[in-house]
Every structure is written in C-alpha cells, then in structure tokens.
Amino acid sequence: MKKFIKNCVLFFLLLLIVGEFVVRFTHAVSDIPRRTIDDTGIQKYFTNQTGYWKGGDHKWKINELGWPGDLPSSFDKLITIIGDSYIENFMNPNECHQGPLLKKRMSEYNFMEAGRSGVSFIEAMEISKHLDTLQPVQTLIYVNDNDFYESITEIKKMRDITQLNLEKDQIIYGEMKSPGLKKVLYNWKLLYYFYNRYPINFSNENKENEIKETELDKTLKFKNEILELFKFIKNNYETYNKTLIFHPKTNDYFIKLAKEHGFNTIVLDSSKDNKSWTFDYDSHWTCYGHEQVANQVTIGLNEYFKGKGQ
C-alpha cells in the first residue's frame, strides 16, 4: 500500500512538472509583471521586466521608470500619455501602443506612456503631477465613464484603486490586492492556468443586483459627487496643459465639466467606422482600433497646438 501511495505521489509530481513545462512553453497564460507602490503612493511596476502575452505572439516590456513600453530617446517637446489598461495595452505589441503610433504622426514631439490597469481619473491626475517634473508640453489622459465613478469613495469604495474621499477632501491611495496570492499564481504557471480556466467567484449571488445597478442613470444619481471631483482637481492640479481623451460614447456631462474646469478635450468617435475597434472577446482596442484612436488624437492635438500658436 505504501508503495502504491508513493508511486501515485511521484506520478502526480511528474504530471505537475510536465504540465508546468507545457504551460510555460506554449505561453498558455500571460506573464504578468510584478507591481510595487512607490514613495508617492502610485502603483507601478518593478523596473526592467519583460514577459510574453498569452499565446507568445509578442512580449511586453517595463522600462526604467516602471511603466510599460520604451522611454523616448529625448524628453524635449515631451507629451506624456496616461491611462488604464487601454494604455498599458499588454494585449498588443509595442508598435500598436499610442506612444509609437503618435510618434509616427507627430515626429517633432516625443511621447512617454504611463499606463496601468485600474488607474482611476484621480490617480491619473496624481501620476500627471509627478510626471510634470519632466516638463511635458502636454499631457494626454485617456478616460471613460467608469474612471470618474471609480475615483470617488462615496460612490463605491475600492481598496485597490486610488480614490478621493469627498467628505474628508483627501486622496486615499490604493493598496495592492492579495500580493502574496498573486505572486504564487504568477510564478506557478500551471496553477495560474487553472485559476483562469476555473475562477473562484464568491460574489455570484450578488451579480444580478450589480448588473441592475449599472443600468441606472448614474449621471443623475451622482451628479453632485462628480462636480465636487472636478472642483477638487481644479484646486489641486494644473489642468491648462492637460488633454482628456474621452472614449467613444462617453457621457456628455463629463465632457462639459472637463471644459469648464480648464481641460482641453478630444472626444473619440467610432460610429462612422465600418470595422470594430475592439477584440471579439474583449472590450480593449485592437491594433486597428489604436490606429484609429491615434489618427483622431493627432487631428485634435494639431488643432490645439495651432490655436496656441505652437
């Protein structure tokens, strides 16, 4: 009996080793870069990491400042690009990122990206405050509706996302979610593969209620909170050199408030395109989508700079 158990254990261990090798060799799961929180409370990545996206068709890279992509060769005439997973953009090769695409269209400028999944609007402003030390001529912040709602604790408190507490008039910096578990999952690829295939969700019982909540008219419900968010930003950050790039179908109320509080704005429009900007299985932009976004941003920026006499 002991020999049988021993053989079963050895066979199981052999299966684990073979399975781990197969998952790594075929890139059945994406490599995920390790995060850290810097002295200013900003979540970014440990520097100089590389890894493969799922399928192994392309690699991502974390640069010397802890952000995805390559740093520009020069910081002269710099334009910084800030956003969430749309700008982090691990699902596309580097040539399909906004920085390289805009550089092709506006070669006289240099572009630097600071993107990370989960960046709220208020955290984007925090990031911009620190990147302002590089003296960019303009900062582009890519936003959608959720980035504004997720910025306010009174709407929904989220521990892993940087938010503004309106009552205390205070920034609450995000915490890394389950860092120990994530470290195990990202290093044990086979376990991560099964975790992705069969995720454990303890909140299914509330899923129906959450879906109904998202269908409410949030603009009317949280109109005052959003207004207070913009007032806080106007009082605590520079907005004159910031351009908000609004995703297609963004609520007009956010665009109106942005203009009233000193931001330049560019509103993306995908309605006239006969080809989808997004993946079939995902709402993020494909290479084609990023190309179309870069085209519209280039037009908007050129008009802005022309109006400023630059």
pLDDT tens digits along 195-245: 555 655 544 444 444 444 553 477 788 999 999 999 999 999 999 999 999
Q: How far apart are CA 87 and CA 113, in angstroms?
A: 7
At residue 111, the 3 state secondary structure works out as strand
Phi-psi region of 45 (alpha: psi -120 to 50; beta: other; left: phi over 0): beta
CB 68 within 8 A of CB 114: no
**Paired residues of 172 in beta bridges:** 163
Other beta carbons within 10 angstroms of residue 119's beta carbon come to 30
Residue-range domains of the chain with CATH: 31-187+222-308 (3.40.50.1110)
Instruction: Put the strands of the sheet holding 110-115 in their side by side order.
Output: 110-115, 78-83, 138-143, 242-246, 264-267
Least confident interval from 162-176, 177-191, 259-273, 283-297: 177-191
DSSP letter for 113, please. E
Question: What pLDDT was estimated at residue 31?
Answer: 79
Least confident interval from 45-49, 166-170, 210-214, 218-222: 210-214
Per the structure block, which two tokens stand in for 78?
Answer: 């710099």
Least confident interval from 7-16, 137-146, 242-251, 288-297: 7-16
Instruction: Kindly state the average pLDDT of the residues 29-47.
Output: 89
Q: How far apart are CA 297 and CA 244, in angstroms?
A: 10
Question: What pLDDT was estimated at residue 308?
Answer: 77
Q: How far apart are CA 49 and CA 62, in angstroms?
A: 5
Average pLDDT, the chain: 86
Provide CB contacts within 8 A for 255, sequence distance 6+. 244, 246, 265, 267
pLDDT in tens, 131-163: 999 999 999 999 999 999 999 999 999 999 999
Strand 43-45 with 35-37, pairing: antiparallel
Provide CB contacts within 8 A for 307, sequence distance 6+. none
Other beta carbons within 10 angstroms of residue 251's beta carbon come to 16
Rounded to 5 degrees, what angle do the CA atoms 128, 116, 47 make? 90
Q: What percentage of the chain exceeds 70 in pLDDT?
A: 79
pLDDT in tens, 51-104: 988 777 899 999 999 999 999 999 999 999 999 999 999 999 999 999 999 999
Pick 40 or 183 by higher pLDDT: 40
Q: How far apart are CA 308 and CA 289, in angstroms?
A: 29
Pick 181 or 126 by higher pLDDT: 126
Which residue in the block uniquely carries the two structure tokens 């080809």? Answer: 275
Closest by CA to 266, choosing from 148, 142, 126, is 142
CB 228 within 8 A of CB 125: no
pLDDT band at 2 (very low <50, low <70, confident <90, very high): confident
Other beta carbons within 10 angstroms of residue 112's beta carbon come to 22
For the cut 70, the answer to whether the pLDDT of residue 192 exceeds it is: no
For the cut 90, the answer to whether the pLDDT of residue 299 exceeds it is: yes
DSSP letter for 34, please. P
